[in-house]
Amino acid sequence: MLPRNGMSLPAGRLLQVMFFLLFPLWGHATETLNLWHSYRGAERTAFEALIDDYNQSQSEIQVKALAVPFGGYADKLSAALPRGQGPDLFIIAHDRVGGWASAGQTVAPIDRYVSERILRRFPDKLLDAMTFAGDLYGLPLNFKSPALILNTDLIQTAPATTDELVALARRHTERSSGRFGLAYSYTEPFFHGALMNSFGSGPFDRGGSLNLDSEANVRSLEMLTRWVQQDQILPDEPTSTLVTSLFNQGRAAMVISGPWMLGEIAPQVNYRVEPLPINSETGQPLAPWVAVEGLFLSPWSSNPKAAVAVMDFLTRRQSAEKMAIEGGQLPANVSAFEHPRIANDETAMAFRRQLEAAVPIPNLPAMALLWVPLENVLKKVVKGAAQPHAELQLLQRRLSADLARLERSRARGDGPVQMPGWLWLVPLLLIAVAIGLWRRYRRKLTGSWRANRTAYLYILPAMLGMLVLVFFPLIYGLLLSVTDTTVFNEHTPLWSRFVGLDNYAAILGDFHLWRGEGSERSLDFDNFYWTLFITVLWTASNVALAVGLALVLALALDRPIFGRSIFRMLLILPWAIPSYITALVWKGMFHPQFGVINQGLQVLGFAPVAWFDSIGASFFTGLVTNVWLSIPFMMVVILGGLQSIPRELYEVAKVEGAGRWFQFRSITLPLLKPVLIPAVVLSVVWTFNMFNVIYLVSDGAPAGANDILITKAFRIGFEKYQYAYAAAYSMVILALLFCYALWQTKVSRTLEGVR
């Protein structure tokens, strides 16, 4: 079964090639175009029906669609496309276009394949979203923007201005019983865009340069802070799941959300969608950001003309109507809104009206750098932990520096590229060194091979696998870390990006532990040494707790007791259930307003804790979750180890009158050591690099203070596009762990010597 499935593709291709070689004139060749998307549910069914229609409408081109889960979609595209793999066509939201177009080799312009006739289908706004630096990169398929959703049992008429909105919301807010006039994910920049854009031009000025600390943006933050702190119309720590739950239970009179929420509104809730109100301070309508899903073309497509023909088919009016009616999409081909079934759909038409005021998310590459730091600023400011103006100024300075870095790397990539002559010496030198080493150690090596052939043969298969799959990535990382590779110069030759040890110097030489002046002075959580401190603390506390508790539980389970197998089964459960959902359950349990932990505290008479506001509490959330997740594994390892301890030893000890504690110290622990030490070493390494728990539970809250080195490296690489800097971070992690492992083996060996 396995090889057949594995090999079917190349074999199939070979047959195909032979077939065409033998019968070159035999009818039309059907060509397959691959299309990737991340739809599911009704949207997917409607879309695949459309693809079937296309495949049946003609015989030359067959489109093959592949659905990829959202969580892996962008990674899959950015792994495949720049390497000449991947689909001919793909569907994704437009805000990545700028980054990908700048990176090159990921997405291709389609200007020369599309006619005026096709372009006339779409509003200019949506075409602008697909355009970067003057080139059109795709055709818009549908749009998604937030709007106001009312619970019509509570509110009949929509507020026309923000003042009315606040007044109305205040009337429907009753915090003690968990009722709110308004609920939305207000700390997410995507949602805050509506306010920002109604005050001014958003994070960028008209020329496209970063303008975060503008008067307009400060005012937008001040308005939001007023809503949260003075008017108190909004719930704490809003996530999209919380907003939906509140609305479904009639505990949120109004929510700001998009078409994606409609499917999840409970059937007993009566609702209506309305465009967002007018900002009372500026007289401009709140202008939410709109994400435009587009059809994009791969630069490697063998038949771009046919691919664009597919785009043409998928965006024509009939297709748009089908996607709207059966798939629930808001089609970018707005003529579809004239179809009677859509024109009579109040909800769809409300979103259509909202589009008039909406603004496409800026598709500049710089936008990708903005999401996370801006979210941190929003979280801080609405809690009153920082002033809008000062905080935005700080962010502006910081992001400008990041952008300048990216620009420098681009300038370097644009410069004249010639391979320096001395580079030829490197391989020669390597060969010379290899020959030298071989000569020097030949006798020793062959001798050792002859003496230990059996041992080497036993190890060889495992070693070979490791060499291929582990050490190549390591060398790749090492090479990357001595360059200044970013998204802009990824495809220039390696030697043109060489910067030596600059990245390491920047990381290790960063002693700016403090930021701000006077009373504003605070620890700089982006500093390497702070992150290192947190990482060491995180690792030490996790491993100590997990190993200690697992040892206690394993000892309790080792001897027979009533219900032992049931306990064993229960205690192993956290390992068996995918940690993705359990980590999020823990996050939900720590929710300051609705989490059970705070409710439990209140039952016991304690004050609730704002879990994600302070460094200690937030650290604790991650710690608890990770210990909970890692105990079962540790326990199983120790249980296995306990099996190899001969029972006779205990009997002898008992006869000699040794107590429990003495037995544990002198028999159990020493005999468990060969198993325990590798387990401890490995769990230190894993916990040091534990990405998921931090990312899912505390997400470095507050403001990145609880990030560990690995999440920091990820943010630098994937949220700031500085691949080389992230690689250098990883090499530093590697070096630190290597030193730890050396130390640990040395210590355990000296212990051995003592015994």
Partner 1 sequence: MNVVLGRARRSVPSRFARILSDIFSWRFALLVFASLLVAYPLLWVVSLAFSGQQALTLVQLPADASPAQHLHALIPLPERWTLDNFRALLSEQPFLRWLGNSLVIALATTAVGLSLSCSAAYAFSRFRFAGRERGLMLFLISQMFPAVLMLIPLYVIVVQWLGLGNSWLGLILVYSITALPFCVWMLKGYFDTLPYEIEESALLEGASRWTIFTRIILPLARPAIAVTGLFAFMTAWNEFILASIFMDDESLYTVPVGLRFFVSDYASEWGYFAAGSIIVSLPVMLLFLALQRFLVSGLSAGAVKG
647 makes contact with partner 1 (CB under 8 A): yes
35 makes contact with partner 1 (CB under 8 A): no
Nearest to 58 by CA among 88, 19, 30, 90: 30
Helix (H, G, I), strand (E, B) or coil at 228: helix
Task: Give, as ranges, the residues between 170 and 209 that touch partner 1 (CB under 8 A).
Answer: 176-178
Helix (H, G, I), strand (E, B) or coil at 92: strand
Q: In this chain, which stretch among 102-110, 307-315, 513-521, 632-640 interacts with partner 1, using CB under 8 A?
A: 632-640
Closest approach, Cβ 263 to partner 1, in A, equals 7
User: In the chain, what is the straight-line distance between the N-terminal and C-terminal CA atoms, in Å?
Assistant: 53
Phi and psi based region of residue 657 (left: phi greater than 0; alpha: psi -120 to 50; beta: remaining) = left
CB 327 within 8 A of CB 43: yes
CB 630 within 8 A of CB 566: no
Mask for 253-292, x = binds partner 1 (CB under 8 A): -----x-xx-xx-x--------------------------
Burial of 344 (0-12, 13-18, 19+ CB in 10 A): exposed
Closest approach, Cβ 487 to partner 1, in A, equals 13
Q: How far apart are CA 466 and CA 350, in angstroms?
A: 57
Strand runs labelled E in 409-554: 514-515, 522-523
667 makes contact with partner 1 (CB under 8 A): no
Burial of 473 (0-12, 13-18, 19+ CB in 10 A): exposed
Max CA separation in the chain (angstroms): 96
Beta bridge partners of 588: none
Q: What is the helix (H) or strand (E) element at residue 290, kind and residue range?
A: strand 289-297
677 makes contact with partner 1 (CB under 8 A): yes
646 makes contact with partner 1 (CB under 8 A): yes
Q: In this chain, which stretch among 215-223, 383-391, 528-536, 626-634 interacts with partner 1, using CB under 8 A?
A: 626-634
Q: How far apart are CA 277 and CA 162, in angstroms?
A: 6
What single-letter DSSP state applies at residue 67? Answer: E
Q: Which is nearer to partner 1, 13 or 171 (CB)?
A: 13
CB 339 within 8 A of CB 345: no
Q: Which of 575, 592, 615, 719 binds partner 1 (CB under 8 A)?
A: 575
Q: Which is nearer to partner 1, 214 or 535 (CB)?
A: 535
Q: In this chain, which stretch among 116-124, 192-200, 322-330, 545-553 interacts with partner 1, using CB under 8 A?
A: 545-553
Sequence-distant (6+) residues with CB within 8 A of 630 are 542, 546, 550, 683, 687
Q: Which is nearer to partner 1, 335 or 599 (CB)?
A: 599
Q: In this chain, which stretch among 117-125, 212-220, 444-452, 656-664 interacts with partner 1, using CB under 8 A?
A: 444-452
493 makes contact with partner 1 (CB under 8 A): no
755 makes contact with partner 1 (CB under 8 A): no
Q: Which of 49, 523, 570, 652 binds partner 1 (CB under 8 A)?
A: 570
299 makes contact with partner 1 (CB under 8 A): no
620 makes contact with partner 1 (CB under 8 A): no
Helix (H, G, I), strand (E, B) or coil at 543: helix
Closest approach, Cβ 89 to partner 1, in A, equals 14
Taking only Cα atoms into account, the Rg of the chain, rounded to an integer number of angstroms, comes to 30
Task: Give, as ranges, the residues between 366 and 385 that touch partner 1 (CB under 8 A).
Answer: none
531 makes contact with partner 1 (CB under 8 A): no
Q: Which of 428, 561, 655, 754 binds partner 1 (CB under 8 A)?
A: 561
Closest approach, Cβ 712 to partner 1, in A, equals 10
120 makes contact with partner 1 (CB under 8 A): no
Beta bridge partners of 703: none
Closest approach, Cβ 325 to partner 1, in A, equals 20
Q: Which of 432, 455, 513, 540 binds partner 1 (CB under 8 A)?
A: 455
Beta bridge partners of 135: 132
46 makes contact with partner 1 (CB under 8 A): no
Closest approach, Cβ 495 to partner 1, in A, equals 19
Q: How far apart are CA 469 and CA 466, in angstroms?
A: 5
Strand 514-515 versus strand 522-523 pairing type: antiparallel
Helix (H, G, I), strand (E, B) or coil at 690: coil
CB 140 within 8 A of CB 127: yes
Closest approach, Cβ 557 to partner 1, in A, equals 7
607 makes contact with partner 1 (CB under 8 A): no
Closest approach, Cβ 154 to partner 1, in A, equals 15
468 makes contact with partner 1 (CB under 8 A): yes
Q: How far apart are CA 138 and CA 130, in angstroms?
A: 6
659 makes contact with partner 1 (CB under 8 A): no
How many chain residues touch partner 1 (CB under 8 A)? 145
532 makes contact with partner 1 (CB under 8 A): no
Closest approach, Cβ 327 to partner 1, in A, equals 14
Q: Which of 544, 552, 747, 751 binds partner 1 (CB under 8 A)?
A: 552
Closest approach, Cβ 194 to partner 1, in A, equals 16
Q: Which is nearer to partner 1, 134 or 563 (CB)?
A: 563
Q: How far apart are CA 689 and CA 683, in angstroms?
A: 10
Q: Which residue has the tokens 């700390």?
A: 187
461 makes contact with partner 1 (CB under 8 A): yes
85 makes contact with partner 1 (CB under 8 A): yes
636 makes contact with partner 1 (CB under 8 A): yes
Q: Which of 571, 623, 694, 696 binds partner 1 (CB under 8 A)?
A: 571
302 makes contact with partner 1 (CB under 8 A): no
Q: Which of 118, 167, 537, 572 binds partner 1 (CB under 8 A)?
A: 572
Q: Which is nearer to partner 1, 504 or 686 (CB)?
A: 686
14 makes contact with partner 1 (CB under 8 A): no
Q: Which of 14, 17, 18, 79 binds partner 1 (CB under 8 A)?
A: 79
167 makes contact with partner 1 (CB under 8 A): no
What single-letter DSSP state applies at residue 1? Answer: -
Handedness of CA 688, 693, 696, 702 (dihedral sign): negative
Task: Give, as ranges, the residues between 89 and 108 that touch partner 1 (CB under 8 A).
Answer: none
The total number of residues shown for the chain amounts to 755
* Residue 507: half-sphere exposure toward Cβ, Cα within 13 Å: 23
Sequence-distant (6+) residues with CB within 8 A of 469 are none
